[in-house]
Structure 1
Amino acid sequence: MTDERQHRIPTILAFSLLPLSGFATDIYIPSLPSMGMALHISNVQVQLTLTLFLISYGVSQLFIGSVLDSFGRFKLGLIALLVFAIASLVIAVSHNIYLICLMRIIHGITVAIIVVAKRAYFVDVYEGDRLKHYLSMFTIIWSAGPIVAPFIGGYLEHLFGWQSNFYFLAVLSAGIGLLDWLYSRETLKKPVAFHLRTIADIYANMIGTASFTLGIAMLGLAYTMVMVYNMTGPFIIEHQLKLTPVIAGYCSLLLGIAWMCGGFIGRATIKRPFFRKLVFNLSLQILFAVTMIGSLFFVSNLFTLLLFAFLIHACAGFTYNNYFTYCLSKFPQYAGISGGMTGGVVYILVSIISYGIVSVLPPKDEGHLSYSYLILGLLSALVMIAVFLTNRKQTSTLRTA
């Protein structure tokens, strides 16, 4: 009981930092069109600030896990929070897109350190059913970012301009960093020796585990559905439909709730047959995308956009919740590395696929968004077929043995 009390505040603080990656991307989504006009840059250039964050966040996670498993989580996490706050202030006062892009790369690196450290905290402190309980809550807690951030960002943009989003990020990270410094401590019990050969072998073992790598692919495709909307939705709402950034913020808020609903359903069905429920979920997702395309022949407005996007994002949240819990609990002895590998590869996939899709299908109208959803659904179906074949092969091998 004493041990539980001792970890209560640090656990709350760890949960409060899990949505930071969502805040760093989603809070200024309603401001993307205004930001582009204020800086006199194109839509693609302003979308690049999102892509650079995703790439740096993803690549950093690939390596930062091994550093955290060797040198600890606490001090590195605090330093990262401080640097993140400073980078946010630099963006807020800058009008140079190249400097902003550089600061967004720094954002990605520091958020990777913070989030991977806090994921590893739970594996350090908890075990058994308690650990599974907390891991299954990760995507639900994380979805607070996509839900709350654009809602706040829409109002900040409307009242104070796009720079206020980054002032908010600076204050938020500095405040939580102060509380973390006061209440949290190092939780790493057995540091892993920082030997490049040993670390490389661990990475090779993880990558060679087919179920783990396929799970990461499913995570990447699921989150890309959200990111594609983030990169196109505000332009459709503000340019095509002629609505305000506040409305764009409300729309992102609604779709964040959809993602959270999918996470809750995933958590509620955690004991159901894994493969069967995911095939059913993916079938629904593809059906919704096809129906969305078909509806364009009859009607296209904000209501239809949000209706189908809500259903598709809920399915994506369900997929993400199930596979995220699985991937993070796959290698508990290397919590930092497995968490970093999972998050890193996911965000690299998301950055490449989402930027590729919006380049081919730019943020023109609901039609382009619906085709993007269908492409991602079909790619997910291919990965699920690979999952099925891998599972069948493993079962056959076990029976033969």
Structure 2
Amino acid sequence: MPIIGMCIDLVAPSLPAIGQSFSVAASVAKSVISLYLLGFAFGNFLSGFLIDSYGRQKIIRLSLLGFIVASLMPIYLHSITWLLFARILQGLTIGAVSVTLRSICADVLPPERLTKLGPWFGTMWGIGPVIGPVIGGYLQVYFGWQAGFYFFAIITLIAFIVVFIVVPETHFNRHPLRIVSIKNNITEILKNHVFIGITALMGLSYALMILFNVSGPFLIQTTLHYSPIFFGHIALYLGVVFVLATFLGRYLLKAHTVEKIWLIAINVSLLVGIIAVIVSYFFKDSVILTTLITALMFISCGVVFPISLGKGLSLFRHIAGTATAVMYLVNISISSIVAYFAGFVDMTSLVPLAWMYLFLVFVIAILYWTVLRKS
């Protein structure tokens, strides 16, 4: 699970170096993030049908092997085209791993337990963003951007061996891989407005973190002239904040409903976003303020995303693989689109980043009050 969250954060400190290595614009280097997310979204979506038809075990093994191959491609095929293609392939394969792991949990756990397990998913996934930037920063400074891809290949090989030995087959009530069946399942899911609203909420919340992954390296390393290692440590602190926020979400679930937590977290985030924009005009080059504002956004994501994940998955346990596939296709596609457009924003100061945070939180608030609150 941690490797899933690490695939973005470990690469982030190397984005400026990747741009220099291939002599491409910053927007092209930033697409290393958005294309990975795009592959991740479709990897989740397509594998959802396969694991419901063919089981969990074969898919997760093949996907891990595919990720190893994708990680080695940009090292030995040195071109920006192959790098971008490899990132899409990495996203496709690790997306399949992600949806399979979550479907295994849905196979063996009751709905109420699955909802409470949502924050645990967030915590495990959040380990990657905690350690990934630090590892990526040191690898970049001492070995170059290629070292991160060697790291991916080695760690995933270890994961493959463990999965091959330990993980059993958990899905025996298999659905035939038929177009009509797939269409019916997707139609059932898409007609549930609560599920779609939750999924969109997840995508926008996750985009709060993705904004920093895409824009942070260029703001901190290129504009403010700090090293990749310094950026890695900043991202480490933010990753710790995210993990602690998932624990906070799990604690709040003991005393409050998911709906009440949404209400508080979203309204507080909107207030923070407004204040952030105002203050950013007075401290445009403050790395401390950048970190503080981003940390508050990470708290929002850390609380909202995991509990939304558990809530959404609990609605379709009978077709958990397909539901998870649709969920991640929509929410990660939203994050990918945000990352893509953020790549064209020139990070000359904190001001553009603060405005992007406010815009996302504003859209989240509209979604909550117009869809989820009414439902």
* Cα separation, 2, equivalents of 1:347 and 1:264: 23
For residues 166-189 of structure 1, give each alpha carbon's deviation from its aligned partner in whole angstroms, at most 9, with x where no partner exists: 000000001110111122221112
Deviation at 1:106, TM superposition (A): 1.0
Q: Which amino acid in the other structure matches residue 379 of structure 1?
A: V
Q: What is the DSSP-based 3-state SS (H/G/I as helix, E as strand, rest coil) of the residue aligned with 1:122?
A: helix
* Aligned twin of 1:9: none
Q: Which amino acid in the other structure matches residue 299 of structure 2?
A: A
Q: Which amino acid in the other structure matches residue 243 of structure 1?
A: Y
- CA shift in 2, pair 1:342/1:28, >3 Å: same
Deviation at 1:388, TM superposition (A): 4.7
Asked whether the equivalents of residues 363 and 369 of structure 1 are also in contact (C-alpha less than 8 Å), the reply is: yes
Deviation at 1:128, TM superposition (A): 5.1
Q: Which amino acid in the other structure matches residue 60 of structure 1?
A: G
* Aligned twin of 1:397: none
Asked whether the equivalents of residues 210 and 390 of structure 1 are also in contact (C-alpha less than 8 Å), the reply is: no
* Aligned twin of 1:298: 282
* Cα separation, 2, equivalents of 1:329 and 1:130: 9
Q: Which amino acid in the other structure matches residue 256 of structure 2?
A: R
* Cα separation, 2, equivalents of 1:181 and 1:323: 31
Q: What is the DSSP-based 3-state SS (H/G/I as helix, E as strand, rest coil) of the residue aligned with 2:340?
A: helix
Q: Which amino acid in the other structure matches residue 28 of structure 2?
A: Q
Deviation at 1:389, TM superposition (A): 5.5
| TM-score normalised to structure 2 length | 0.96
Q: Which runs of 5+ in 2 are unaligned?
A: none
Deviation at 1:314, TM superposition (A): 0.4
* Bigger mean CA offset, 180-189 vs 38-47: 180-189
Match of 2:65 among 82, 92, 109: 82
Asked whether the equivalents of residues 64 and 157 of structure 2 are also in contact (C-alpha less than 8 Å), the reply is: yes
Q: Which amino acid in the other structure matches residue 146 of structure 2?
A: Q
Q: Give the fraction of aligned pairs with identical amino acids, expressed as a percent.
A: 25
* Cα separation, 1, equivalents of 2:97 and 2:280: 42
* Aligned twin of 1:235: 218
* Cα separation, 2, equivalents of 1:353 and 1:25: 14
Larger Rg: 1
* Aligned twin of 2:190: 207
User: Which runs of 4 or more aligned residues in structure 1 lie more than 6 Å from their structure 2 counterparts after TM superposition?
Assistant: none
* Aligned twin of 2:304: 319
Are 2:121 and 1:141 equivalent residues in the alignment? no
Match of 1:106 among 81, 85, 89: 89
- CA shift in 2, pair 1:129/1:286, >3 Å: closer
Deviation at 1:261, TM superposition (A): 2.2
* Bigger mean CA offset, 253-262 vs 269-278: 269-278
Match of 1:353 among 329, 334, 338: 338
Asked whether the equivalents of residues 68 and 156 of structure 2 are also in contact (C-alpha less than 8 Å), the reply is: yes
Asked whether the equivalents of residues 198 and 372 of structure 2 are also in contact (C-alpha less than 8 Å), the reply is: no
For residues 25-71 of structure 1, give each alpha carbon's deviation from its aligned partner in whole angstroms, at most 9, with x where no partner exists: 11110010011111111111111121111112112322210110110
Q: Which amino acid in the other structure matches residue 306 of structure 2?
A: N
Q: What is the DSSP-based 3-state SS (H/G/I as helix, E as strand, rest coil) of the residue aligned with 1:385?
A: helix
Asked whether the equivalents of residues 112 and 314 of structure 2 are also in contact (C-alpha less than 8 Å), the reply is: no
- CA shift in 2, pair 1:118/1:274, >3 Å: closer
Are 2:358 and 1:374 equivalent residues in the alignment? yes
Match of 1:274 among 233, 258, 266: 258
* Aligned twin of 2:21: 38
Q: Which amino acid in the other structure matches residue 48 of structure 1?
A: S
| TM-score normalised to structure 1 length | 0.90
Match of 2:292 among 307, 316, 338: 307
* Bigger mean CA offset, 207-216 vs 268-277: 268-277
Asked whether the equivalents of residues 61 and 163 of structure 2 are also in contact (C-alpha less than 8 Å), the reply is: yes
The alignment's C-alpha RMSD in Å is 1.5
Match of 1:365 among 325, 349, 352: 349
* Aligned twin of 2:152: 169
Q: Which runs of 5+ in 1 are unaligned?
A: 1-17, 392-401
Asked whether the equivalents of residues 80 and 111 of structure 1 are also in contact (C-alpha less than 8 Å), the reply is: yes
Asked whether the equivalents of residues 61 and 112 of structure 1 are also in contact (C-alpha less than 8 Å), the reply is: yes
Are 2:374 and 1:390 equivalent residues in the alignment? yes
* Cα separation, 2, equivalents of 1:273 and 1:109: 34
